[in-house]
Structure formats: structure tokens, C-alpha cells
């Protein structure tokens, strides 16, 4: 029964909605901005937020969701670190009649009744945007284009989908070759470490393009490229995703070629959905974030307008 109907109107007016939110972690600039957006939007909306950081571990998220069920929160929202393995805990929430909202990352389940809505970006489309930018940039290039890929967290929706969308576009021309692809877990430290290994394996002239699934890994990789005595964005074309401030700084310094936008500012729309759900109003099953792409030539003009 929706809360609004279960309580007399006076009590309803006083009852604060309680939202349990299980966050992935603090692995990137994107994630920090996402956490900040959720916390400040909850405050603005007068919603009591129980916030839990899973440190990029699914077991921690499952524990947090179980704790929210035990505390009988009104709504549970979470950003699933990986796509699979959620059915059991989501069934427990359903049995307890607690609605679940997915934010940012999708789950892979046959039973879509286990969540009310999924709000976030179209990661496949982000991968396609990255691919289309590269195809256009290299359209006059005759020889092989040797690409290395820094993947996001293994099994996560953005890593799976950004790879898929990018490959879908570049496969149209066999000159594009992904010569190495490995996870950097969405962090700067791992991005740097894996890029060092790529450079060692492929040699200084063996890599033409780096496609990083997020800006943080690209920024780590830029350090590795410089330490190897190469010029980032010149000797190696660099494409990444998120368009956080750090990426704009790298673009303005001439070290990153392009960043595909992925907005972390999901807080306000999450709070709207939570209120609607509690009030028994219908909510769309899928809410897609709208976003663009920023080549380095646009960075200086766009930078002052950026909100994350």
C-alpha cells in the first residue's frame, strides 16, 4: 500500500520519506559528483537519506540492501556495481513490499518486476559516440589504426555497453584494430598501471589510439604516456567518457582529444521518482539521461558551464 494511502493526511504531512541508497564506491570523479548530487537533492527534497558506500564490492551492496529491508525504509535505490547476481536480494525487497529504483547502472534480470524504474545513461550510445568521433577523425588515415582499450569494472553495465557500442561502429572499417583491452576498474591508479603495461607490450610506436571507458583511467594513462616520453593527444589519440572537470582540464592542456558526456547529476530526478512512487503515482520504467560530446576544441568555452 502506498504510504500516502496508509496514513491519515495529518500524519502523512509529518512523515518523512526514508530512502536507503547503496552507492558503488568512490572510484572516480564521476562517482563523487553522483554522491554529492544524491545527498544534496535528498536534503532539498526533505527526504531522509540512509547512504551506504559499497567500496566497489557487490557483497557490500547486498548487505546494505538487506539492512535497508530490515530497517523498513520506504524506498531502496542503488547503483549496481555489476549487472548479474541481484535476483535473490531484489526478491527479498519485493517480498517486504519495498520498491526498488536502479540508478546509473542496469541489472541483468529476466524479472523486470523486481524494480520500479531504471534511470541513467545509455552506455551503448556513449560507446557509439566515441566510435563515430574516431571514425571521422581518422577518415583519411590509410594504414592500420592500432587501438588499446581501458575497460571499466569487469561485469559492470558501463564497461559492457561502452565496449559494445564502440566496437559496433569501428568494425565497419577493418583498418581499426583493438590490439589490447584490459580493465582499469574505472580508477586513475589502475588506468596508469595498465597503460604502462600496454606501452611496454606494444612499443612506443605500436599504439595510435587509447579508448578509456572513463576520464579517470584516461588521466592515469596520460601520466604513463608522458613518462614513456610520448605526447598524449598527439602521438596517441585519446578518447574517454564522462566529461568531468578533470577531463576538461586535460583537454585545455592539450592532453586529451575528446570526452563523451555521461551526467552523474541524477539526484533531483531520483528524489522526484521516490516521491511519486510513495504517492502511488506511475513512474516510467526507463528514464534516459540526455548528453553530448566535447572535443578538445570546445573545452575552454564549455569549462565554465560545467556542473560536475
List interacting residues with ligand GYE (CB under 6 A): 27-28, 30-31, 104-105, 158, 186, 214, 216, 241-242, 262
Find the shortest distance in angstroms from Cβ 262 to ligand GYE. Answer: 5
Asked if residue 79 lies in contact with residue 102, where contact means CB atoms within 8 angstroms, the answer is yes
Smallest gap from residue 256 Cβ to ligand GYE (A): 14
- Shorter beta-carbon distance to ligand GYE: residue 186 or 211: 186
Closest CB to ligand GYE among residues 18, 270: 270
Q: Least distance from C-beta 215 to ligand GYE, angstroms?
A: 7
Q: How far is the CB of 254 from ligand GYE (least distance, A)?
A: 22
Q: How far is the CB of 236 from ligand GYE (least distance, A)?
A: 21
Min separation Cβ 175 and ligand GYE, Å: 28
Three-state secondary structure readout of the chain: CCHHHHCCHHHHHHCCCEEEEEECCCCCHHHHHHHHHHHHHHHHHCCEEEEEECCCCHHHHHHHHHHHHHCCCCEEEECCCCCCCCHHHHHHHHHCCCCEEEECCCCCCCCHHHCCEEEECCHHHHHHHHHHHHHHHCCCCCCCEEEEEEECCCCCHHHHHHHHHHHHHHCCCCCEEEEEEEECCCCHHHHHHHHHHHHHHHCCCCCCEEEECCHHHHHHHHHHHHHCCCCECCCEEEEEEECCHHHHHHHHCCCCCEEEECCCCCHHHHHHHHHHHHCCCCCCCEEECCCCEEEHHHHHHHHHHCCC
The nearer residue to ligand GYE, 17 or 21, going by C-beta atoms, is: 21
Q: For residues 30 and 294, which CB has a smaller minimum distance to ligand GYE in the complex?
A: 30
Angle between helix axes 188-202 and 215-227 (nearest 10 degrees) is: 50
Q: How far is the CB of 13 from ligand GYE (least distance, A)?
A: 36
Amino acid at each position: 500500500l502506498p504510504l500516502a494511502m496508509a496514513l491519515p493526511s495529518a500524519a502523512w504531512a509529518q512523515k518523512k520519506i526514508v530512502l536507503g541508497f547503496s552507492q558503488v564506491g568512490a572510484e572516480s570523479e564521476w562517482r563523487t559528483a553522483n554522491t554529492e548530487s544524491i545527498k544534496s537533492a535528498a536534503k532539498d527534497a526533505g527526504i531522509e537519506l540512509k547512504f551506504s558506500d559499497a567500496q566497489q564490492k557487490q557483497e557490500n551492496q547486498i548487505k546494505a540492501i538487506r539492512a535497508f529491508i530490515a530497517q523498513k525504509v520506504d524506498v531502496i535505490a542503488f547503483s549496481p556495481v555489476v549487472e548479474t547476481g541481484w535476483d535473490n536480494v531484489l526478491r527479498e525487497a519485493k517480498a517486504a513490499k519495498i520498491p526498488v529504483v536502479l540508478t546509473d547502472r542496469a541489472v541483468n534480470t529476466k524479472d523486470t518486476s523486481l524494480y520500479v524504474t531504471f534511470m541513467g545513461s545509455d552506455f551503448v550510445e556513449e560507446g557509439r559516440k566515441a566510435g563515430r568521433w574516431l571514425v571521422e577523425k581518422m577518415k583519411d588515415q590509410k594504414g592500420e589504426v592500432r587501438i588499446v582499450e581501458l575497460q571499466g569494472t569487469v561485469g559492470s553495465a558501463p564497461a559492457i555497453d561502452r565496449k559494445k557500442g564502440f566496437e559496433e561502429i569501428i568494425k565497419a572499417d577493418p583498418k581499426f584494430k583493438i590490439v589490447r583491452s584490459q580493465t582499469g576498474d574505472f580508477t586513475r591508479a589502475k588506468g596508469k598501471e595498465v597503460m604502462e603495461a600496454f606501452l611496454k607490450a606494444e612499443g612506443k610506436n605500436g599504439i595510435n589510439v587509447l579508448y578509456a571507458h572513463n576520464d579517470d583511467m584516461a588521466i592515469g594513462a596520460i601520466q604513463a604516456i608522458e613518462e614513456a616520453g610520448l605526447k598524449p593527444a598527439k602521438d596517441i589519440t585519446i578518447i574517454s567518457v564522462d566529461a568531468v572537470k578533470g577531463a576538461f582540464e586535460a583537454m585545455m592542456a592539450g592532453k586529451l582529444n575528446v570526452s563523451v558526456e555521461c551526467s552523474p547529476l541524477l539526484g533531483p530526478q531520483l528524489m522526484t521518482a521516490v516521491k511519486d512512487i510513495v504517492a502511488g503515482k506511475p513512474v516510467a520504467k526507463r528514464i534516459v539521461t540526455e548528453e553530448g560530446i566535447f572535443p578538445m576544441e570546445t573545452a575552454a568555452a564549455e569549462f565554465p558551464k560545467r556542473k560536475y
